[in-house]
Every structure is written in structure tokens, then in C-alpha cells.
Amino acid sequence: MAHISLPDGIPGIRGPMMFRPETAKPLNELVDVLLRGPHPLSPGERELIGAFVSSENDCTYCQTIHGAIAAHHLGGDEELVRSVKRDFQHAAISDKLKALLAIAGKVQLGGKHVTSEDVDQARQLGATDLEIHDTVLIAAVFCMCNRYVDGLATWARKIRIFTDNVRPKLPLMATSQAR
């Protein structure tokens, strides 16, 4: 049960956003730019960064929904999403993405944990300043959203990546401007 009165039956961040739409609008706009806007990282890679950070924060709703969207963008590869959340260093992803996930993981601990060496490593593996910047911002935004969701004790189904009744909605959710 949520700590405040939220719309019934609306899981995760959607309930608080419906409660206060004037704060939801700028958050949604930022997330849309970061996850869906033109970018050298694919939407699947950016969603994977968000799902990884949410997993590290133990935010059930965010890691589930963004893991499902990442899997959708990555050809339906739910096992890849699980392996990244389990141990990204041994997952079947590029070395550049591994370096960016290392940075995201340090942001999740606290921004000052990111070192020049982390950034240099990402650059050596081909990451651009835009990719490094947006990885840090995606991680920071997801940390905020995870705390928003869990701090209000919103609910989320405890499911694997996502159930079959939600999977058909993923193409719409992956491109939607409104959540």
C-alpha cells in the first residue's frame, strides 16, 4: 500500500505521475530525450542502462518495465537483460557498453565514485562525450525515479521480465511519449 493516496491499480511511477501531472511532464520529457531521442547508443542500450541501475537500486517496477522495453529493442532477448543485471562484465554486450555500465553503476553508488580512469576506459573503447554524458544522466535520473517509486511505496507485480499480457503492449510502450 502506497504511503499516500494514489490512483488505484496503477503500478510504479505511473501512480505518482497521475497524482501530480505537473511534475510528471518535465520528468517524462527528460526521459523521452534520454531514452528515445536521436543518439549514437540504441534505444535498447539506453533502456538497458536504466534497467541495470534500477536493478542495482532494487526497484522492482523500474527494472521490470525498462528491462522489458530493453529486451523488446534488443530483439526480444530477455536473457541478455537478465545477464546484464546479474553480471554485466560477462554479458554478451560490447566492451564499450560494459564500460558505460561500469560508469552507470558508480553513479548509482554516488556521482563522486566515477573516476577519470572510468571515463578514459570508456573513451578508449569508443564512447563519445555524448554517450558518457547521457550514461551519467540516465543513471542519475533512474536513481531519482527509483527513489520516487520506492519512497512512496508504489506497487509492482513480482514477475520475471514481463508477463504475456503486457508483452503485446511493448511496441507502444517503447515509443510512447506519454506514460
The C-alpha atoms of residue 68 and residue 48 are separated, in whole angstroms, by 9
The C-alpha atoms of residue 74 and residue 31 are separated, in whole angstroms, by 19
The C-alpha atoms of residue 62 and residue 66 are separated, in whole angstroms, by 6
Residue 75: CA atoms inside 13 Å, Cβ hemisphere, count?
3
Residuewise pLDDT in 10s, the chain (179 residues): 899 999 988 999 999 999 999 999 999 999 999 999 999 999 999 999 999 999 999 999 999 999 999 999 999 999 999 999 999 999 999 999 999 999 999 999 999 999 999 999 999 999 999 999 999 999 999 999 999 999 999 987 665 545 444 555 555 555 554 33
Residues 59 and 146 sit within 8 Å (Cβ to Cβ): yes
- Phi, psi for residue 16 in degrees, rounded to 5: -60, -30
Other Cβ atoms less than 10 A from the Cβ of 65: the count is 26
Whole-model pTM: value is: 0.89
CATH 1.10.20.10 fits 26-174, yes or no: no
In 116-173, the DSSP E strands lie at none
What do you get for the CA distance between the two ends of the chain, in Å? 21
Comparing CA positions, the residue from 141, 56, 53 lying closest to residue 100 is: 53
Provide the residue ranges of all domains of the chain, joining segments of one domain with +: 26-174
Q: What is the DSSP letter of 163?
A: -
